[in-house]
């Protein structure tokens, strides 16, 4: 786990059997108290508590017992828990003061036991003996009539100062609450940033809620954080954790509780906190010529990298983006930095010389994904407990998305449509990628269906041509047969019978072709069934083992029955396809062949006997042979054509599905445009202009018509004609339809045939000569590629200059653009947001607004910022602060990660003061000059 701050579910008011109002058995001996402490720890785990405060009245006897029980806690395997996973036990006391009110005093979780008695002495409290069953009778500490005075007295002890925190009772106007009528002065002067409630915060009355929220002037507009507590006093722990509070800290100290109160929007929650589900968890750099090795775990909410210029903050972010294959678009103009080229130089100069690798651990819904990229660019990935395997950049970008910006990149966004479009696409990248993958797959199926469709159309034309030729031959044969006269009755019968038999044999040949075709299909199906049988695995043992086994048995039975039926049909097909001499004498196929042979022999004999008509009979025989051969070939073509009968429908179905995915893509993008308008608070208006970009379509068409002498301006005009049409969704397929008919028109073979009409192309500005040139140049394959080139929709962005008045986004100032875009990014859910110095181009007056958005943003997306702005880091309440320094003081040729942690840690506060404030002296000097 990273060294930053994390939420812990806590109950800060838990009493022990020493409490006078305890419901349950007394615990006097060490054994009894140890047993109670163990049960308490178990109950805390059952209730999901991760931190408690043992807070008996004016007493701390039970704290050591509970501490020991928490330290001895083991996991399910009996192994001692890692210290970071143990139940946190805060020593505490509930005080009844002469203010008059009650208060909790909570100490550091590691506050030494040896000092407990000294604390009581410092507050002039006389406890009962530790061997007693109960605490001494609670008496009001009348000498403590001011929380301010109490703190001043306690702070006189160096060993105690900064190791405790005071929380007055703020449970409405009860006798123990500081919110009672007549006590605003006591409340205002109290050196407290938090208070506790016996029960849930929801029970606070509206007036009291206004007081603690800092909205009541009479009470000093003093805002404090509220901790709801269970006030548990029952042996069965039935109240334990019922009213808990989630508190965020890096180390469980009084200072951490103070920092939580000061940043209650992001560090205190009375309900289960919402946390990002997609996070960059860790970055490891094996070696770097600039930074050396880096091992940095990142917080799931907000990580801030700070340090002087040139110490490595930006380098770490660029390494992270490089490992995750984030690719900002290339430079749009000479004034825009080329971030990709800059990053390439960084890798070349700092990783390649030392053969460094960058490894990033990425978590999606708590499932670990590790990607490792080497200096040569090679990539491997591991998911969960699997092995590393090679992967592509696209796979990394799709699976592990981020949204990242380099220094000054936010202010450059407006000059590039693709950068602005990232604001739309980044939050929905995974959904868009899924649609794009499906569209690519569907496009492949469209190509296959189109090839079948082209084959079907070609065969249809072939059959029609052959029908004409067959009709001609048939008419010729009839004319020759009618011209024959004087034939004997026997010869005439032989000729007539021969004609009938040959016609019938064409049907027989068709049946035989059908048997062959079906047998081939059966063979293909047999391979499919065999593959399913071979791949069949045992049914899962859980759940419902018997039900799953029965279902699998039915599936196996179905496969076996199918295979048996296939084997039977295959055998029948093979038997029918045997050579004639291997068929049984009773086989109708053999009988037909023998009878056909006899008729043909009689026909030959009749031809030979008729010497007077020998020439015509020879011609007739030749024509009839041609008819038979032609008919058999036509039958084969027709048989193939029957198998392609649904090709047109299949193509249209696949094509409509591909178009439908484009519609889904546009609908998703439009919804995100609407969402961006909302999340920007109306500062940005984003609208999706559908069918607005035909550049890719025009490019593909220009490539296909290269050398055709169709003017480039007219090709561009086709794209303009589509996007400017009243209904581009109708105009686009109309243009495609005309182009397809021209692509299929064969000018060489069809010669004088009339060229197809192309009304949409004529309307778009092409002349008759242009159509001729298109028909000669455009191939069906080119048209297919063109038909699968979408007319893209593009988002259009505007900036709200004032209420109801929008201007093109590019016309807003850099500061206006950066502010609007950053606020939008912070309002958007989405993948981890990585920005190098987001404060660039921001005006200081808007920084507080940005900070408040940061508090909310880190609940739904991870933030990783490098910054020089203390407001963004400190007031934004970064859960993890990592600071960079020069490896050698004064030498700017190398940097390092010098430390990390959260602001509740003294070392972190010192680093922030030194780096971001110029040191305590500089900060105090400014404070004095401002007159704070």
Strand order in the sheet with 684-693: 684-693, 792-802, 805-808
pLDDT tens string 5-39: 999 999 999 999 999 999 999 999 999 999 999 99
Q: Residues 692-710: what's their mean pLDDT?
A: 93
What mean pLDDT comes out for the span 114-130? 93
| 3-state secondary structure at position 541 | coil
Per-residue confidence (pLDDT) for residue 270, from 0 to 100: 94
| Cβ proximity of 279 and 879 under 8 Å | no
The token pair that represents 204 in the structure block: 């606070």
Long-range CB contacts for residues 477-483, cutoff 8 Å, separation at least 24: 477/620, 477/623, 477/624, 477/627, 480/616, 480/619, 480/620, 480/623, 481/620, 483/616
Asked if the model's pLDDT at residue 329 lies above 70, the reply is no
Strands 51-54 and 268-269: unpaired
Q: What is the model's pLDDT at position 802? A: 86
Q: Which of 254-263, 400-409, 451-460, 845-854 has the highest mean pLDDT?
A: 254-263
Q: Which two tokens stand for residue 521?
A: 């299909």
The confidence score (pLDDT) of residue 931 equals 78
Mean pLDDT of 798-802: 89
Percent of the chain with pLDDT over 90: 62
Averaged confidence pLDDT in the chain: 89
Q: Report the C-alpha gap between 422 and 480 in whole angstroms.
A: 79
pLDDT at residue number 337: 55
What pLDDT does 639 receive?
73
Range name among 43-47, 429-433, 803-807 with the lowest pLDDT average: 429-433
Record the pTM.
0.79
d(CA 204, CA 179): 11
Nearest-angstrom CA–CA distance, 349 and 361: 24
Of 419-423, 432-436, 810-814, 817-821, the range with the lowest mean pLDDT is: 419-423
Least confident window among 46-55, 292-301, 566-575, 888-897:
888-897
**pLDDT by residue (tens digit) across 210-262?**
999 999 999 999 999 999 999 999 999 999 999 999 999 999 999 999 999 99
Question: Are the CB atoms for 515 and 573 separated by under 8 Å?
Answer: yes
Calpha distance 92→108 (Å, rounded): 9
* Residue 181 pLDDT greater than 70, yes or no: yes
Distances (CA, A) of 761 to 418, 666, 715, 730, 919: 31, 26, 10, 14, 73
Beta bridge partners of 808: 798
Percent of the chain with pLDDT over 70: 96
Residue 749 is predicted with a pLDDT of 63
| pLDDT value for 333 | 47
Q: How far apart are CA 285 and CA 287, in angstroms?
A: 5
Question: In the prediction, which pLDDT does 814 show?
Answer: 80
Taking every pair of Cα atoms in the chain, the longest distance, rounded to a whole number of angstroms, is 150
Q: Is the pLDDT of residue 330 over 70?
A: no
- The mean per-residue pLDDT over the stretch 372-399 comes to 93
User: What pLDDT score does 508 carry?
Assistant: 85
Q: What is the pLDDT of residue 752?
A: 47
Q: pLDDT at residue 610 above 80? A: no
Average pLDDT over residues 63-74: 95
Output the CA–CA distances (angstroms, integers) from residue 496 to 477, 490, 493, in the order listed. 12, 10, 5
- pLDDT mean over 300-315: 94
Q: Pull the structure tokens for residue 726.
A: 């009243």
- Position 427 confidence tier, pLDDT thresholds 50, 70, 90: confident
CA angle 532, 533, 534 (to 5 degrees): 95
- Place 763 in a pLDDT band, splitting at 50, 70 and 90: very high
CA atoms of 374 and 93, how far apart (whole Å): 56
Q: Is the pLDDT of residue 477 over 80?
A: no
Question: What's the chain's length in residues?
Answer: 932
For residue 485, what pLDDT is reported?
Answer: 66
- Kindly report, residue by residue over 490-529, the tens digit of the pLDDT: 877 887 888 788 788 878 888 888 888 888 889 989 999 9
Q: Which of 146-150, 426-430, 517-521 has the lowest mean pLDDT?
A: 426-430
792 touches 421 (CB < 8 A) = no
**Residue 61: Cβ within 10 Å count:** 20
pLDDT band at 285 (very low <50, low <70, confident <90, very high): very high
Q: What is the mean pLDDT of residues 356-381?
A: 95
DSSP alpha helix (H) spans, 405-488: 409-412, 417-425, 429-483
Q: What does the alpha-carbon distance between residue 36 and residue 15 come to, in Å, rounded to a whole number?
A: 12
């Amino acid at each position: 786990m990273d060294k930053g701050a994390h939420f812990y579910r806590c109950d800060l008011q838990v009493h022990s059997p020493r409490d006078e109002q305890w419901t349950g058995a007394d615990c006097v001996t060490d054994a009894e108290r140890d047993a109670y402490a163990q049960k308490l720890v178990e109950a805390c785990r059952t209730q999901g508590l991760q931190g408690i405060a043992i807070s008996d009245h004016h007493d701390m006897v039970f704290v050591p017992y509970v501490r020991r029980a928490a330290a001895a806690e083991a996991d399910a395997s009996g192994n001692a828990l890692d210290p970071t996973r143990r139940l946190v036990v805060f020593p505490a006391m509930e005080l009844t003061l002469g203010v008059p009110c009650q208060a909790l005093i909570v100490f550091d979780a590691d506050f030494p036991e040896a000092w407990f008695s000294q604390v009581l002495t410092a507050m002039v409290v006389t406890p009962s003996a530790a061997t007693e069953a109960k605490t001494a009778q609670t008496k009001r500490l009348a000498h403590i009539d001011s929380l301010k005075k109490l703190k001043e007295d306690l702070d006189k002890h160096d060993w105690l100062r900064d190791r405790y925190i005071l929380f007055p009772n703020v449970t409405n106007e009860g006798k123990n609450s500081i919110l009672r009528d007549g006590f605003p002065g006591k409340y205002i002067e109290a050196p407290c940033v938090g208070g506790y409630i016996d029960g849930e915060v929801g029970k606070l009355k509206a007036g009291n809620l206004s007081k603690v929220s800092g909205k009541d002037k009479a009470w000093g507009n003093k805002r404090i954080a509220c901790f709801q507590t269970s006030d548990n006093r029952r042996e069965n722990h039935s109240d334990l954790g019922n009213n808990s509070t989630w508190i965020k800290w890096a180390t469980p100290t009084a200072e951490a509780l103070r920092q939580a109160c000061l940043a209650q929007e992001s560090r205190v929650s009375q309900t289960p906190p919402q946390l990002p589900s997609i996070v960059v968890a860790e970055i490891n750099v094996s070696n770097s010529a600039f930074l050396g090795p880096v091992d940095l775990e990142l917080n799931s909410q907000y990580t801030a990298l700070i340090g002087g210029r040139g110490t490595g903050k930006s380098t770490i972010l660029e390494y992270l983006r490089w490992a995750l294959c984030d690719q900002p678009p290339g430079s749009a103009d000479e004034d825009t930095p080329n971030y990709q080229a800059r990053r390439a130089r960084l890798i070349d100069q700092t990783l390649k010389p030392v053969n460094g690798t960058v490894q990033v651990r990425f978590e999606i819904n708590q499932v670990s994904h590790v990607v490792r990229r080497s200096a040569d660019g090679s990539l491997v990935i591991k998911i969960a407990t699997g092995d590393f395997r090679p992967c592509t950049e696209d796979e990394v970008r799709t699976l592990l998305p981020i949204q990242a910006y380099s220094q000054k990149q936010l202010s450059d966004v407006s000059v590039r449509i693709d950068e602005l479009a990232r604001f739309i696409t980044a939050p929905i990248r995974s959904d868009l990628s899924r649609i794009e993958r499906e569209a690519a797959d569907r496009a492949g199926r469209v190509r296959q269906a189109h090839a079948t469709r082209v084959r079907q159309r070609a065969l249809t034309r072939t059959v029609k041509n052959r029908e004409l030729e067959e009709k001609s031959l048939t008419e010729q044969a009839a004319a020759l047969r009618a011209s024959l006269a004087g034939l004997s009755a026997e010869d005439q019968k032989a000729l007539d019978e021969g004609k009938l038999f040959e016609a019938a044999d064409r049907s027989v040949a068709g049946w035989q072709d059908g048997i062959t075709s079906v047998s081939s299909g059966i063979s293909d199906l047999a391979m499919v069934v065999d593959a399913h049988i071979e791949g069949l695995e045992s049914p899962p043992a859980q759940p419902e083992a018997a039900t799953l086994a029965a279902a699998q048995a039915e599936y196996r039975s179905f496969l076996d029955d199918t295979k048996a039926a296939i084997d039977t049909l295959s055998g029948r097909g093979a038997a029918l396809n045997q050579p004639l001499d291997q068929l049984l004498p009773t086989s109708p196929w053999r009988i037909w062949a023998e009878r056909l042979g006899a008729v043909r022999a009689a026909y030959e004999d009749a031809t030979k006997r008729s010497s007077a008509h020998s020439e015509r009979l020879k011609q007739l025989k030749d024509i009839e042979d041609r008819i038979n051969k032609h008919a058999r070939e036509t039958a084969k073509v027709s048989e193939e054509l029957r198998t392609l009968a649904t090709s047109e429908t299949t193509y249209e179905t696949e094509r409509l599905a591909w178009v439908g995915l484009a519609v889904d893509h546009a609908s998703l993008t439009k919804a995100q445009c609407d969402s961006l308008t909302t999340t920007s608070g109306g500062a940005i208006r984003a609208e999706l202009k559908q069918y607005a970009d035909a550049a890719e379509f025009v490019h593909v068409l220009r490539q296909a018509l290269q050398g055709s002498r169709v003017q480039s301006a007219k090709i561009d005009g086709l794209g303009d004609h589509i996007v400017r049409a009243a209904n581009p969704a109708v105009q686009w397929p109309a243009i495609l339809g005309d182009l397809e008919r021209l692509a299929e028109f064969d000018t060489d073979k069809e010669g004088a045939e009339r060229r197809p009409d192309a009304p949409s192309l004529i309307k778009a500005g092409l002349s008759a000569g242009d159509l001729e040139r298109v028909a000669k140049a455009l191939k069906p394959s080119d048209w297919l590629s063109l038909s699968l080139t979408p007319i893209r929709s593009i988002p259009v962005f505007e900036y709200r200059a004032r209420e109801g008045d929008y201007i093109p986004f590019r016309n807003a100032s850099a500061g206006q653009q950066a502010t609007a875009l950053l606020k939008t990014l912070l309002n958007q859910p989405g993948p981890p947001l990585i920005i190098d110095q987001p404060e660039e181009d921001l005006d200081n007056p808007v920084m507080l607004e940005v900070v408040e958005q940061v508090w909310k943003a880190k609940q739904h997306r991870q933030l990783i910022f490098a910054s020089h702005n203390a407001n963004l880091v400190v007031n934004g309440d970064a859960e993890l602060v990592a600071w960079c320094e020069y490896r050698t003081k004064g030498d700017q040729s190398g940097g390092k990660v010098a430390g990390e942690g959260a602001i509740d840690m003294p070392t972190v506060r010192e680093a922030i003061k030194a780096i971001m404030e110029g040191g305590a002296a500089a900060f105090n000097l400014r404070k004095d000059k401002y007159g704070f």
